[in-house]
Amino acid sequence: MIPFNKPYLTGKEFQFINEAISSGHISGNGIFTKKVQKYFEERWGFKKCLLTTSCTDALEMAALLVNIESGDEVIMPSYTFVSTALAFVRQGAVIKFLDSKSDQPGMDEDQIAELITPKTKAIVPMHYAGIACDMDKIMALAQEFKIFVIEDAAQAINGYYKNKPLGSMGNLGCFSFHETKNIQCGEGGMLVINDERFIKRAEILWEKGTNRAEFFRGEVNKYNWVDTGSSFLPSDLIAAFLWAQLESFDEIQIRRREIWDWYNNNVDILFKGYNFRKPFVPQYSTNNGHIYYMVFSSLEERTKFIDDLKNRGIHAVFHYQSLHQSPYYDGKYLGNPLPNCEMYADCLVRLPLFHEIDLSIWR
Ligand SMILES: Cc1ncc(COP(=O)(O)O)c(C=O)c1O
């Protein structure tokens, strides 16, 4: 069976893991963690980066940093991964879900204004498939109503909105390096802190509620329990793995775009008998080659497509089930119907997209 995803290894992972082991410091915030964080800060101009054990952790840190409390409202898409909402729900937030746009699965920014109330504390734009949300619209509302913006950029590394890197525009940004992502370390993530006010506290939350990072820099002579937090930082072994991926970043991106473009040029011919539409990338956004998706005309048509490919030994997969219709939200969702989310939940399918795929499988 051709898998949907196969994590790419550059070949340098073991070497850097060995170096981390030899350095004698394999817990968090070691040499490789610092190198990786600096790379992200320099290449994409992120003000401050902290590696985390997942994007879920980065989102949880974000919810703590903006002080989400019981009854606060947070606006986000329903067509997203559980963690986008869970990080805020566990702090007591009420989620106000947005529909997707009709021409793409990304959230409909034009519906945000009607969901804003005096209790709205944050908006969480999620850049589906690395395609940018319309950040100008979001940031204008955030400024007007004094709302925090936390970008869920889990899929969006090296994506841009009008020449600005995704993850760099909100107060905070959250990335994933899960094995399904463009660059990966098995499980991993990163919090980007663009708003200077959050930097000091972010380091404390990251280090189990202590000021240990300051202590290691020699800024205080002992460290203490000073706040809430958790063990959000990964071992330096994870950072060493990720460093190998970063060294090959450009090559990885070129290959992913090559595959994405090949699909986009060939699906009409390859799948002539099916009724589907291709991905839409708005002018304001780049395409980081994260996901190649197709949208079928019905659940039945999609199911037939997935089954047909399965019979050819190819694994294609659907994506999210809308969060407002999840068992967890059963009976709790009181907002408007979200027909586009429901349509993408039923009709969207993703084709296998990984570095070593042999595209001759489609011939
Ligand atoms: C949009 C989105 N947000 C958050 C996450 C969570 O990422 P992680 O698995 O690194 O916790 C994912 C995972 O794929 C995701 O797709």
Q: In this predicted model, what pLDDT tens digit does every residue of 308-356 receive, in sequence order?
A: 999 999 999 999 999 999 999 999 999 999 999 999 999 999 999 999 9
Secondary structure element (H or E) that encloses residue 165, with its range: strand 164-165
Residue 5 φ then ψ, to 5°: -140, 145
Residue 24: how many other CB atoms lie within 10 Å: 7
Backbone angles phi, psi at 165, to 5 degrees: -65, 140
Is residue 64 lining ligand 1, measured as CB closer than 6 Å?
A: no
Rg over alpha carbons for the chain, rounded to the nearest Å, is 21
Ligand 1 centroid to Cα of residue 220, in Å, is 35
Could you report the per-residue pLDDT of 201-216, keeping only the tens digit for each? 999 999 999 999 999 9
Question: Is the distance from the beta carbon of residue 234 to the nearest atom of ligand 1 less than 6 Å?
Answer: no
Say how many C-beta atoms besides its own lie within 10 A of residue 285's C-beta.
24
CB of 286 within 6 A of ligand 1: the answer is no
User: 56 CB less than 6 Å from ligand 1?
Assistant: yes
- What is the rounded distance in angstroms from the CA atom of residue 1 to the CA atom of residue 313? 5
Mean pLDDT taken over the chain: 97
Chain centroid to CA 127: 7
The confidence score (pLDDT) of residue 102 equals 98
CA 24–ligand 1 middle distance (angstroms): 31
180 alpha carbon – ligand 1 mean position (Å): 10
Confirm or reject: Cβ of 176 under 6 Å from ligand 1: yes
Using a cut of 0.95, tell me whether the model's pTM lies above it: yes
**In 119-235, where does DSSP find H-type helix?**
135-145, 199-206, 212-216
Please work out whether the CB of residue 185 comes within 6 Å of at least one atom of ligand 1. Answer: no
Q: Report how far ligand 1's centroid is from the alpha carbon of 110 (Å).
A: 24
Ligand 1 binding pocket mutation candidate from 176, 179, 293 (most atoms within 8 A of CB):
176
165 contact partners, CB below 8 Å, separation of at least 6: 44, 45, 46, 158, 159
